[in-house]
Structure 1
Amino acid sequence: MHEALPAPDRVRTPGSAPGGVPFFGHAIALLSRPLDFLPSLPAHGDVVRIRLGPRRAWVVCDPGLVHRMLVDTRTFDKGGPLYDRLRELMGDGLVTCGHADHRRRRELVRPAFTPARVAGCTALMGEEALSVCRDWRPGERVDVTAAALSLTTGVIARLLFSGSLDAARAATLRSCLAVVVRGLLVRTVVPVDALFRLPTPGNRRYLRAVRRLRALVDELVAERRRGTPRDDLLGTLLAAEDGADGRALTGREVRDQLITLLLAGVESTAMCLASVFALLADHPEVERRLHEEVDAVLADRTAPEPGHLARLDYTRRVVTETLRLRPPGWLFTRLTTRDTELGGYRLPRGATVLYSPYLLHHQATSFPDPERFRPERWAPGRTAGRAAGGDALLPFAAGSRKCVADTFAMAEATVAVAVVARHWRLRSPSGPIGRPRPAVTLGPRSLVLVPEPRTRVPVGARPSPAL
């Protein structure tokens, strides 16, 4: 019989967060000032009880306890308000499926994210990064968030669909995702279904975006079925639909996987990239060191090649520190499958349990001076983020449900930052940028910066041959 955690000598009662209001509980605080509310909770215990509308929920504030929860996926399964809402959009894709179905779905997509496949995607990552910044003009304002979304849409479209997502459909995808991610947060924090059945303009926009996104994916799948097989993720999923291995996917499961990979692959990495450039604009010394490394490693090339990734050490540290300070995935939920205990705290079966990478990443016990942007935390030999029971840095989760594409996402972000930094310095036209306001992901929703050229190498020049 599976045991979730060893029984402690003493069972404690979770602390309670102060400041709840009638009916809404702590949902208003979580919606209106989440980046202040969440870091205030550890003062009330390692596990803190809050109310979200009529529901109770428990926030795990200790990094060691979060690790124990993430490793025990049978007791702490994917569930709670966030995943209830995501399932309405993604069905039972890789991110939202329960423990029993996860391994099979993960095995289907894992071959696309092996180290060798990631290295083989370096060129297309560089090409997409060049495509979004080659037409910038010195002194003109650029919506960097939109550029980042274009970049990540191009990369994931080529990975999933071999480039069959044309410009018009890519624009539709970006617009649908923008509406969906805004709508998901309020549906998660205020889990009162009746509110979202009202025919308000916001609810209509959300439902329309969900329908368009599903229709777009169905259209791409139908085209592939009529066309020539290709060696991409869609081809892998359609082969699994044929059931050659005796475990056939249904057409609905194919669509669920594709929507999951689109939402996760486009939105999160784009928010990370937008946050990187916002932080660089506010920290010129970090930007200077980044430019020095990129110039030294790339020399006269316009984009990194596979052999460059290991040498872009400081660039990778900048990305890692951004993921600490501004994690795109900032709040997640789990659902207990039985009565259990976590660190001596009693949790009932069916409890909604929350953990926040943002909260964990901003604890001074794990990260001294946590509000400072300090890429040197991640220099070789440093022990940033080490906490009792595990690493406090959790931008990609942990355990068997850790993001299957974490290596891919890190490579994509490193390549994109290096390409833009090779050619441009980005400045804020209106002074310090400050931290963003989160939706279902965390990152600047409309970051406007001004590019200044910093190289004589033409932005549209072709990359050099591979090393």
Structure 2
Amino acid sequence: MYLILKLPTLALHLIRDERWSAMRNTIISLYQPSHLAGLIPTMQRCIERAADAIPAAAAQEHGDVDLSDLSLKLATDVIGQAAFGVDFGLTVTSGGCEAAEFVREHVHSTTTLRMDLSAPLSVALGLVAPALQGSARRLLRRVPGTADWRVARTNDRLRARVDEIVAARHRERGRDGDGEGARRDFLSAVLDARDRSAALRELLTPEHVSALTYEHLLAGSATTAFTLSSAVYLVAGHPEVEAKLLAEVDAFGPPGTVPTADELQHRFPYLDQVIKEAMRFYTVSPLIARVTSQQVELGGYKLPKGTWLWMAPGVLARDAASFTDPGTFRPERFDLAGEEQRRRHPCAHIPFGVGPRACVGQRFALQEVKLSVVHLYQRFVFRRSPRMESPPELQFGIVLSFRHGVKLVAVERRVGTA
């Protein structure tokens, strides 16, 4: 299966061995609790901007809010500021044509990473004849009007935007000396590491830095946006869940109260359950790939070195042996004090993957989603729009997405009421 070749092949997701270890060790400190706690104000500013934009967005769409679109703008703004020190300004109401075009390209780049016959022809061909995919893609991307050509042009423009960000940071560091320590974000950590070590300069080439930055933009926005929009969509269809969630949010403090990282972790147990259940119900990563580094025996089968293995976390998440009545949205199944949670295998629910190559940014993503849900429900409740299909049509790709978005009606809350 060669579907993942559309991602930057030099980035953390696909590289291996010494270069993978060097890249991961370089950025892992940015996702430790002490650093994440300091990102709360940055995240909150973007969240408040997104929430402020909801009434105007609804007025333009017959009262509906496309939460998928808003969540992607929010997540992209957060990753822009937290990882690159750049404000993309997508959640600003007057974002303008440039911001809108950036979002369209970003959405196109993520949603065309499909795993079915609606994908670009080279990807669809890879489903039935993997050996032909590479040559077909190289040919079709040169043919104007084809899906492969459009995807290539979009990805080239996004990469150019990312390259501009990296180049600007290089220029800034040149003006300010080596720049080490002036910032503490993802891009600075990578560049600082390169400057400190000749070995890392060899491993983290400019091409690898750009690829890693591009991957960070895609992975840090599309997955978080899907998780946030799916959680709110599911809560909107289950009044009993909404009532318990609102009670927990209101008990924390008056509207506008911003939780700390520690409070997010310990004061919102039901919110934790809601997010875990949303990620189980709509698992954002349909497939997780691994390659054997040596011959192994698995389930009685001997697998030679270099064998591709594919896990389907969404299938595990719908296994009735681990999740009673798996087609029902029931956050209580993740109650830490419940019998169901205690007896469940720890790998039954692995939305972020498992092992040393699990998602390095999972704490970052969960903090952002939790903070967003708290603020949104301090200000609004949401109802499913009659203009949205039910059940929603899903699009399967490298990440899951809602084919037609999540259309909701946002109702502003009065203090103390739902």
**Superposed pair shares fold, TM > 0.5:** yes
Higher relative contact order (CA 8 A, sep 6+): 1
Identity fraction in percent: 30
Kindly indicate whether residue 41 of structure 2 is the aligned counterpart of residue 123 of structure 1: yes
Check whether the contact 1:153–1:170 (CA below 8 A) recurs between aligned residues.
Answer: no
**Match for 2:64: what amino acid?**
R
Name the SS of the counterpart of 1:333 in structure 2: strand
Question: Are residues 300 and 386 of structure 1, via their aligned partners in 2, closer, same or farther at CA, if it must alter by over 3 Å?
Answer: closer
Check whether the contact 2:334–2:341 (CA below 8 A) recurs between aligned residues.
Answer: no
**Match for 2:6: what amino acid?**
R
Residue aligning to 1:447? 406
Alpha-carbon RMSD: 2.4
CA distance in 1, matches of 2:345, 2:228: 30
Aligned residue among 369, 372, 378 for 1:416: 372
Question: Are residues 323 and 388 of structure 1, via their aligned partners in 2, closer, same or farther at CA, if it must alter by over 3 Å?
Answer: closer
**How much does 1:301 deviate?**
2.6
Kindly indicate whether residue 62 of structure 2 is the aligned counterpart of residue 159 of structure 1: no
Check whether the contact 1:377–1:384 (CA below 8 A) recurs between aligned residues.
Answer: yes
1:34-433 pair list within 5 angstroms = 80-86=1-7, 90-137=8-55, 140-167=63-90, 171-185=100-114, 186=119, 187=123, 189=127, 191=130, 192-193=132-133, 194-196=135-137, 197-198=139-140, 199=143, 200-227=145-172, 228=176, 229=179, 230-244=183-197, 246-248=199-201, 249-309=204-264, 310-382=266-338, 384=340, 390-430=346-386, 433=390
Stretch of structure 1 that moved more, 377-386 or 413-422: 377-386
**Match for 1:96: what amino acid?**
L
CA distance in 2, matches of 1:245, 1:170: 38
Check whether the contact 1:272–1:443 (CA below 8 A) recurs between aligned residues.
Answer: no
**How much does 1:263 deviate?**
1.0
**Match for 2:231: what amino acid?**
V
Check whether the contact 2:4–2:398 (CA below 8 A) recurs between aligned residues.
Answer: no
**How much does 1:225 deviate?**
1.6
CA distance in 2, matches of 1:435, 1:338: 42
Check whether the contact 2:110–2:399 (CA below 8 A) recurs between aligned residues.
Answer: yes
CA distance in 1, matches of 2:33, 2:358: 16
Check whether the contact 2:322–2:344 (CA below 8 A) recurs between aligned residues.
Answer: no
CA distance in 1, matches of 2:9, 2:341: 34
**How much does 1:455 deviate?**
2.9
Stretch of structure 1 that moved more, 391-400 or 181-190: 181-190
Check whether the contact 2:10–2:207 (CA below 8 A) recurs between aligned residues.
Answer: no
Matched positions, count: 375
**How much does 1:152 deviate?**
0.4
Name the SS of the counterpart of 1:91 in structure 2: coil
Normalising by structure 2, we get a TM-score of 0.83
Question: Are residues 136 and 84 of structure 1, via their aligned partners in 2, closer, same or farther at CA, if it must alter by over 3 Å?
Answer: closer
Check whether the contact 1:125–1:412 (CA below 8 A) recurs between aligned residues.
Answer: yes
Question: Are residues 349 and 85 of structure 1, via their aligned partners in 2, closer, same or farther at CA, if it must alter by over 3 Å?
Answer: farther
Name the SS of the counterpart of 1:398 in structure 2: coil
Q: Output one character per residue of 1:367-408: Cα deviation in whole Å (capped at 9) or x when no partner.
A: 111111111111122354678974211101111111111111
Normalising by structure 1, we get a TM-score of 0.74
**Match for 1:117: what amino acid?**
H
Check whether the contact 2:88–2:99 (CA below 8 A) recurs between aligned residues.
Answer: yes
**Match for 2:227: what amino acid?**
C
Q: Output one character per residue of 1:208-266: Cα deviation in whole Å (capped at 9) or x when no partner.
A: 11100110011111112222543322111122232446422211111111111111100
**Match for 2:11: what amino acid?**
G
**Match for 1:224: what amino acid?**
R
CA distance in 2, matches of 1:390, 1:314: 19
Name the SS of the counterpart of 1:451 in structure 2: strand
The unaligned stretches of length 5 or more in structure 2 are none
**How much does 1:204 deviate?**
1.6
**Match for 1:322: what amino acid?**
A
Stretch of structure 1 that moved more, 203-212 or 436-445: 436-445
CA distance in 1, matches of 2:216, 2:391: 30
Q: Output one character per residue of 1:112-132: Cα deviation in whole Å (capped at 9) or x when no partner.
A: 110111121122222211111
**How much does 1:280 deviate?**
1.2
Check whether the contact 2:12–2:212 (CA below 8 A) recurs between aligned residues.
Answer: yes
**Match for 2:155: what amino acid?**
V
Q: Output one character per residue of 1:48-80: Cα deviation in whole Å (capped at 9) or x when no partner.
A: xxxxxxxxxxxxxxxxxxxxxxxxxxxxxxxx5
Question: Are residues 350 and 307 of structure 1, via their aligned partners in 2, closer, same or farther at CA, if it must alter by over 3 Å?
Answer: closer
Check whether the contact 1:144–1:447 (CA below 8 A) recurs between aligned residues.
Answer: yes
**How much does 1:347 deviate?**
2.9
**Match for 1:225: what amino acid?**
H
CA distance in 1, matches of 2:346, 2:384: 37
Name the SS of the counterpart of 2:189 in structure 1: helix
CA distance in 2, matches of 1:336, 1:359: 22
The unaligned stretches of length 5 or more in structure 1 are 1-79, 458-467
Q: Output one character per residue of 1:254-292: Cα deviation in whole Å (capped at 9) or x when no partner.
A: 111111111110000001111111111211111111111
**Match for 1:301: what amino acid?**
G
Name the SS of the counterpart of 2:224 in structure 1: helix
